[in-house]
Structure 1
Amino acid sequence: MASPIPRDHLVPAEHALMVIDMKDYSKLPEAKMAPVRSDVNDILATVLAECGLKDPREEPDAFKDSGDGAILVFPAPYLARLVDPLLRCLNAALTRYDQQRLSSAPAVYLRASVHVGPLSLPDHRGDAINDACRLVDSQEVRGALAAAVEGGAFLAVALSETAYRRTVRAGRTPGLDRQHFLETLAHVGDKPHFTEACRLHVPGLTGQAVLPYLVDAPLPASQPTSASTAAPAAGSGGIFQFHQQVSDSTIANHIDELRIDRRQR
């Protein structure tokens, strides 16, 4: 009879993960921390209901408070809903909140990450949750939030490459496509060995609009560099090689300015 498989040899079930973090929460006066956090919880509850998602706080082991943010755990099949429409709806709700808040109340800007992978419950352990937390703390999503602030949005998101491939690239996000994301590599200042491919998204902006706000962020190999995408300068010369005999007039009829080198090679 075969011996039982050790528990640590089993891969935990996959879950969809969303991590949120409030910008400058630790800088708020102590008296304002609890009210602002309560407002964010209310916004999340409203948006989740609007998107047809059950609030993780109502499920055992599906919500973890991190003080200035939270970790939300969903069944893996709902991953695409966390990208579209949730991100758009969350930014819209934050916009409404900003329009209605008292002048004495602080503005609320959120960084978020979306990931999917194995997760051990109820202890919330595993590489997937670690990576999701690092993505939300990355230099790149902080730069994307600067783009959001400048562009009138209140949310910046880092999708893991796995989450992007299973949702956007797979065609499961009708309101979002490739142009709404910027492909880059995520880094965390105090974790020099962490480098993770991700896609940045700011509601209302294209991915390329976010790029100028990233400081020294290396692009992945699949991302074209400025040199490879730059158009040739007007009036710049070129060299043409012909592998059979052609007449000067034939060439001149297709090129505005022609100089022929008849030297023997």
Structure 2
Amino acid sequence: MNTNRNEVAELPPYRALVVVDVRNFSGEKGRDHEWITKQIPVILEQALIRCGLGELWQKVCFGGSTGDGYFLGLESKYLPFLLNPFLPALQAELEYQNRVSPDRDRQHLRMRVSVTVGPMTDSGENGISEGSGVARIEAHRMVDDASVRDMLTRSNDTTCVAAIVSSRAYEDAVVSGYAADDPDLYVPVDVAVKTHRGTGYLRVPKPSGDLLSRGFTSPEPPEAGGPGDVKSAEGTGPGSPSRTVEQHFEKSTVGIGAVQGNVGKAITGDNLTVHTGSGDQFNAPLGDGVNVIGTNRGRIRHQINKGGDAGDGR
């Protein structure tokens, strides 16, 4: 192979790659880290055996521990099997391991998984540089993406596996039909981790919790200006000028708890309006230099001053 970077070189062989990462590894007790690290490859091998693919463990081209995870490189022809039946088998194996674990204080093992395919170096000796290539970087970036992390955050312990599959792997193994897996089981997402940008496909063998009620896509944040949204100007640091915040509320009934001092008559109306006669309404500070300085058509206006009182609100 030509090693001169200024000349044409041979393309490395295509390899299918699986990367797994244990959720919340840092949240485990320090004394359990070694045990979990050693247990990860055991679980992967048992998952392959569980789905009748035990011989693939002996055909691994390269692999190794990442501390809180593991990676496996195989010939690309095995890519479909790494999606189906391996992912459901890994879910079943983790369920079993969590059920028989003697340490009831330890949190359930749950894994994020990424699967990709592409040219990666492979000399057959499983050296330290084996598996190098853009596809390898893609796999490690995808397993850290917020979209697949969110799958385990919004589900309960029933969901032990959340996978994300590269666009190339999805097209080559799923859309083509080789994985015998329905494409509708995969949900496309944008992946953005560090400098990597791309498209991934989420696959969760056993959804639970919020994934069942709301689906794989995270709920969108409320639109600006909607109910409950707080609009504010910039400048909140020390010495910044005061600013006014308008907070919008849904129509509701306003009640008055305790009143001190001679305030006269207070009449509440629709849309949270409060009628106290002429002039502005003054309340005690709400905290952090926030005072109510008046009401107008269902909006409560606050005066915010950093490092001082709200003043007279004029």
TM-score normalised according to structure 2 size? 0.60
The answer for the alignment partner of 1:106 in structure 2 is 107
State the shift of 1:212 in Å.
2.8
**TM-aligned CA distance change 1:6 to 1:30, over 3 Å:** closer
The answer for the alignment partner of 1:152 in structure 2 is 158
Give the gaps of 5 or more residues in structure 2: 223-314
> Are the aligned partners of 2:46 and 2:54 in contact in 1 as well (CA < 8 Å)?
no
Q: Does residue 41 of structure 1 match 2:30?
A: no
Trace 1:1-265 onto structure 2 (pairs within 5 A).
9-51=9-51, 52-54=53-55, 56=57, 58=58, 62-102=62-102, 103-121=104-122, 122=127, 123=129, 124-147=131-154, 149-150=155-156, 152-174=158-180, 176-188=181-193, 191=194, 193-205=195-207, 209-212=215-218
Instruction: Show CA shifts across 1:108-131 (max 9, x none).
Output: 010010000000134131101011
Runs of 4+ with deviation above 3 angstroms: 4-8, 53-56, 58-61, 205-208, 213-216
State the shift of 1:21 in Å.
0.5
What amino acid maps onto 2:199 in structure 1?
A
Structure with bigger helix share is: 1
CA RMSD of aligned residues (A): 2.5
**TM-aligned CA distance change 1:139 to 1:214, over 3 Å:** farther
Aligned-partner Cα distance in 2 for 1:132–1:197 = 12
Aligned-partner Cα distance in 1 for 2:158–2:60 = 36
Instruction: Show CA shifts across 1:163-222 (max 9, x none).
Output: 011111111222x3122111111112xx1x321111001113489721136889xxxxxx
What amino acid maps onto 2:67 in structure 1?
G
**TM-aligned CA distance change 1:213 to 1:133, over 3 Å:** farther
Q: Secondary structure at the match of 1:77?
A: helix
Aligned-partner Cα distance in 2 for 1:156–1:15 = 22
Give the gaps of 5 or more residues in structure 1: 217-265
Q: Secondary structure at the match of 2:18?
A: strand
State the shift of 1:55 in Å.
5.1
TM-score normalised according to structure 1 size? 0.71
Matched residue count: 207
What amino acid maps onto 1:156 in structure 2?
A
State the shift of 1:5 in Å.
5.3
> Are the aligned partners of 2:161 and 2:206 in contact in 1 as well (CA < 8 Å)?
no
Aligned-partner Cα distance in 1 for 2:160–2:196 = 26
Identity %: 24
